[in-house]
Chains A and B, each alone.
Chain A
Amino acid sequence: MNPKLEGSTMDDLQFRRRIYADPNTHDEDMLAAMKEDPAKQKFTQELEDLDSRLFKAMNVAVPDDLSNKLILRQTLASHQQQKRKSRVRLGLAASVAFAMGLTFNFMQVSSAYSNLGDYAIAHVNHEKDYFSNLTTENVSLSALNTKMAAFNGTFTADVGKLLFADYCRFDGMKSLHLVFQGQTSTVTVFVVPKNEQLEFSTDFSNEDLIGNSQQFKNSNIIVVGDKNESLQQWQKTIGENVRWSI
Chain B
Amino acid sequence: MSAQVSYNMATKQVRYEALVKALHGDLFRYAYWLCHDKHVAEDLVQETFLRAWRALDSLKDEKAAKSWLITILRRENARRFERKRFDMSEYDEAAITDTRSTSNEQEIENQWLREKIAQMPEEYREPLVLQVIGGFSGEEIAKLLDLNKNTVMTRLFRARNQLKEALDDEPKARGQYNG
Instruction: Please indicate the chain A residues that have their CB under 8 angstroms from the CB of B132 in the complex.
Output: 51, 54-55, 58
A62 at the interface (CB under 8 A from B): yes
User: Which A residues from 214 to 231 make CB contacts under 8 A with B?
Assistant: none
Instruction: Please indicate the chain B residues that have their CB under 8 angstroms from the CB of A143 in the complex.
Output: none
A71-79, A153-161, A200-208: which lies at the B interface?
Answer: A71-79
In the complex, residue of chain A having the shortest beta-carbon distance to the beta carbon of B164: A50
Complex contact B157–A70 (CB within 8 A): no
Complex contact B20–A71 (CB within 8 A): yes
Complex contact A66–B28 (CB within 8 A): yes
Complex contact B128–A77 (CB within 8 A): no
In the complex, residue of chain A having the shortest beta-carbon distance to the beta carbon of B112: A57
Complex contact B133–A58 (CB within 8 A): yes
Chain A nearest Cβ from B173, distance in angstroms: 14
B24 at the interface (CB under 8 A from A): yes
User: B-side binding surface: helix, strand, loop or mixed?
Assistant: helix
Complex contact A69–B46 (CB within 8 A): yes
Considering the chains assembled together, what is the distance between the CA atoms of A48 and B156 in angstroms?
14
Instruction: Please indicate the chain A residues that have their CB under 8 angstroms from the CB of B161 in the complex.
Output: 20
A4 at the interface (CB under 8 A from B): no
Complex contact A54–B117 (CB within 8 A): yes
Considering the chains assembled together, what is the distance between the CA atoms of A97 and B128 in angstroms?
61
B129 at the interface (CB under 8 A from A): yes
* A interface size (C-beta, 8 A): 31
Complex contact B133–A55 (CB within 8 A): yes
Chain B nearest Cβ from A43, distance in angstroms: 11
A42 at the interface (CB under 8 A from B): no
Complex contact A17–B157 (CB within 8 A): yes
B60-68, B79-87, B95-103: which lies at the A interface?
Answer: B95-103
Complex contact A59–B114 (CB within 8 A): no
Complex contact A21–B117 (CB within 8 A): no
Q: Which of A54, A62, A73 contacts B28 (CB 8 A)?
A: A62
Complex contact B33–A58 (CB within 8 A): yes
* B interface size (C-beta, 8 A): 46
Assuming the contacts A50-B167, A56-B106, A63-B28, asked whether A71 and B17 have C-beta atoms less than 8 A apart, the reply is: yes
Assuming the contacts A54-B128, A70-B24, asked whether A62 and B156 have C-beta atoms less than 8 A apart, the reply is: no
Q: Which of A20, A22, A47, A74 contacts B138 (CB 8 A)?
A: A22
Q: What string of 1s and 0s marks CB contacts (under 8 Å) between A32-71 and chain B? A: 0000000000000011001101111111111100110111
Complex contact A63–B153 (CB within 8 A): no
Chain B nearest Cβ from A12, distance in angstroms: 14
Q: Which of B17, B53, B157 contacts A78 (CB 8 A)?
A: B53
In the complex, residue of chain B having the shortest beta-carbon distance to the beta carbon of A26: B137
Assuming the contacts A22-B156, A70-B24, asked whether A53 and B45 have C-beta atoms less than 8 A apart, the reply is: no
A246 at the interface (CB under 8 A from B): no
Instruction: Please indicate the chain A residues that have their CB under 8 angstroms from the CB of B160 in the complex.
Output: 20-21, 23, 47, 50-51
- Interface residues, chain A, with chain B CB atoms under 8 Å away: 1, 17-18, 20-23, 46-47, 50-51, 53-63, 66-67, 69-71, 73-74, 77-78
12 A-B contact pairs sorted by A residue (CB < 8 Å): A20-B157, A22-B131, A47-B164, A53-B113, A55-B133, A56-B113, A57-B110, A57-B114, A59-B133, A71-B16, A71-B17, A74-B49
The 3 closest A-B pairs by CB, nearest first: A57-B113, A21-B153, A21-B156
